Amino acid sequence: MKASSARGPALLVATCTALALGCESGSSGAGSSATGRPGAVPVVASTNVYGDIVRQIGGDRVEVSSIIGDPSQDPHSYEAGTQNQLALSRARVVVENGGGYDDFVGRMLRGTKNSSAQVVNAVRVSGKTPAAGQELNEHLWYDVPAMGKVADRIADALAKAAPGDASAFRRNAEEFRGKLTALQAEEARIKADHGGAAVAVTEPLPLYLTEASGLRNMTPADFSEAVEEGTEVSPGSLRETLDLLTGKRVKALVYNEQTTGPQTEKVKRAAEDHGIPVVPVTETLPAGKDYVGWMTANVHALRRALGT
């Protein structure tokens, strides 16, 4: 998620003073935290998506702090506070997306001088590299198989931090991957029923999901890239995108609710006005959802939009 034209200046997180060493982040501030049992492994995740996956694998054996959990916060322009740096200085495991999405984590971690923390970089774990002449789609959590690899790597990192609980971590990771298998089966059903169907997107966020579902993205690349980068959409690119909807050349519009602006709103209205279903997606985990439930809801919404 790049800077959006709908956002103001980057948010500055309220800091904890040196006396407030026990200060925990809340869901309305720098992110969210969960305290496990005494002696739990302290973990910092860049976003609440990875924080949730850590919790599913670590259970009450981990204490997780997620830096980004508010939909209005943008990792690419995030301003760190003392609260985040304190959590990172204590962390034994750090989970980041990588790929340029949350570079602030590495900068902050280096500043804490915590060289012993194990860092799980999701992009590196996935093994993904950009195609020739293209940029990597860094929104890796929409790639279900990649999250299975990340879960295993998280379990390994936690096992090194707490060897006595290693079997529990690996058992939980296996259970988590089983849920992902069911989710992949849902994507395969869409591919079997609607493979080759055309869709439009407002930015690249959901492309791993649409590709796994066998759908063709018809959006002009410069439109979705401009939206992602927070730069001006050219009139020609906007016109091409609107034509996809007014001409009913796509079956659905997958719409990132966290990067909105005049152009994306205009595209959304065109879809609604011409009977094209709009599938809303987000970058961070919605309140009350876990990763699998969230992704399952996204897949089901996409299936309904396509007519089944």
**Whole-number pLDDT of residue 14:** 32
Q: Determine the residue type at 27.
A: S
Q: Do the domains 183-306 and 32-182 match in fold?
A: yes
Q: Is the pLDDT of residue 17 over 60?
A: no
Q: What is the DSSP string of the chain?
A: ----TT--SPPBPPPPPTT-TT----TTTT-EEE--STTPEEEEEEEHHHHHHHHHHHGGGEEEEEEE--TT--GGG-B--HHHHHHHHH-SEEEE--TTS-THHHHHHHHHT--SSEEEEHHHHHT--PPTTS-----GGG-HHHHHHHHHHHHHHHHHH-GGGHHHHHHHHHHHHHHHHHHHHHHHHHHHHHTT-EEEESSSTTHHHHHHTTPEE-S-HHHHHHHHHTPPPPHHHHHHHHHHHHTT-SSEEEEETTS--HHHHHHHHHHHHTT--EEEE-SSPPTT--HHHHHHHHHHHHHHHHT-
Domain spanning 32-182 has what CATH number?
3.40.50.1980
Question: What would the pLDDT profile of 256-268 be if each residue is shown by its tens digit?
Answer: 988 888 999 999 9
Class of domain 183-306: alpha beta
- The arithmetic mean of pLDDT across residues 241-246, rounded, is 98
Give residue 77's pLDDT band: very low, low, confident or very high (50, 70, 90): low
Average pLDDT, the chain: 87
- The arithmetic mean of pLDDT across residues 279-303, rounded, is 95
Q: How many CA atoms lie within 13 A of 54 on its CB side?
A: 34
Domain ranges of the chain: 32-182, 183-306
Terminal alpha carbon distance of the chain? 30
Q: Is the pLDDT of residue 21 over 90?
A: no
Whether pTM > 0.95 for this model: the answer is no
